[in-house]
Amino acid sequence: MKNSQMERKKYSVHNLVKLINERNKQNVRNKQLAVGADGTTSIKAGDGLDGETHYDFCHIENNGQCQNQKCSCKKLYRFKKIKKAPINKKFKGIVLTPFCEKYFSINDKATVENFGLSVIDCSWKSLDLLKKSKFANQRKLPYIIAVNSINYGKPYKLSCLESLAFCLYVCGYNKQCTDILNIYKWSSSFVNLNGELLDMYKLCNTHEEVKNVEDEFIHNSLNEKEKRKKIDHYKVIYEDGYL
């Protein structure tokens, strides 16, 4: 009888110690995690920057439209560079979507640090599904050329990875930008191809300034294209002695 009581007591003490250890671990995690009122979980800016997860980027699955093998969001998640979280109308962070009027700028950095940044994981072919979705802080991205294997060379049609890299670069998180880009071989050319334009956007403090830079860049590009059309290439080749 005494042995039985001793066993139960020993077992109870063991459970108590186990419970205390679990609570201590949970307290440590709670210090690292910011749990929103809507139940979303995110890592605050600056936490874990040298660990596996460098920043909190939430994303949601949208009807499984993305191709698993080519989905940059899913690969970012596998490499523990982003965290999954439900994004709804109560989400106070920045949500990247093409269906809004305001551009992302460095002015949004404080919101990103306090409440997080979200990309919505879906295919460009199913964008109509997002038109009805409304969020508190929606932002779109300006003219940037995609380098992903599906939409290479096309402006605006960025992957989730490229969208996040843009925001990181503009906010001054160059190390984290390079870190997430390194999961694909092709993604390293994103900054090389768009470097000049990215630096121009980085200096913009407001939506209006970003819009002006975009308009000026597109205008200058079109003028340059028209100038090239007017050049007599045969005349240039022969008169300049190339042949």
Mean pLDDT value across residues 203-224: 93
User: Which residue type sits at 42?
Assistant: S
Q: How many angstroms from the chain centroid is the CA of residue 188?
A: 15
Token couple for 242:
């190339």
Chain segment 36-61, per-residue pLDDT in tens:
333 333 333 443 333 333 445 555 54
Cβ partners under 8 Å of residue 162, min gap 6: 72, 144, 146, 147, 148, 187, 190
| Residue 120 counted as an annotated binding residue | yes
pLDDT, residue 30, reads 41
Percent of the chain at pLDDT exceeding 70 = 58
What residues does 42 pair with on adjacent strands? 34
Query: Over 70: is that where the pLDDT of 97 sits?
Result: yes
- Residue 242 CA to residue 20 CA, distance in Å, equals 81
Chain segment 57-93, per-residue pLDDT in tens:
555 544 455 555 667 777 887 777 777 766 666 778 8
Chain segment 136-155, per-residue pLDDT in tens:
899 999 999 999 988 899 99
- Residue 225 CA to residue 53 CA, distance in Å, equals 43
Output the pTM of the full model: 0.69
| Residue 141 counted as an annotated binding residue | yes
Termini Cα distance of the chain: 107
Q: What is the DSSP letter of 84?
A: E
Taking all residues of the chain, what is their mean pLDDT, rounded to a whole number?
Answer: 72
Percent of the chain at pLDDT exceeding 90 = 29
Crossing angle of helices 189-202 and 207-230, in 10° steps, is 120
Cβ partners under 8 Å of residue 212, min gap 6: 204
| Residue 72 counted as an annotated binding residue | yes
Where residue 241 falls (left for φ over 0; alpha for ψ -120 to 50; beta otherwise) is: left
Sign of CA dihedral 66, 67, 68, 73: negative
Contact 226, 119 (CB under 8 A): no
- Residue 108 CA to residue 243 CA, distance in Å, equals 54
| Residue 156 counted as an annotated binding residue | yes
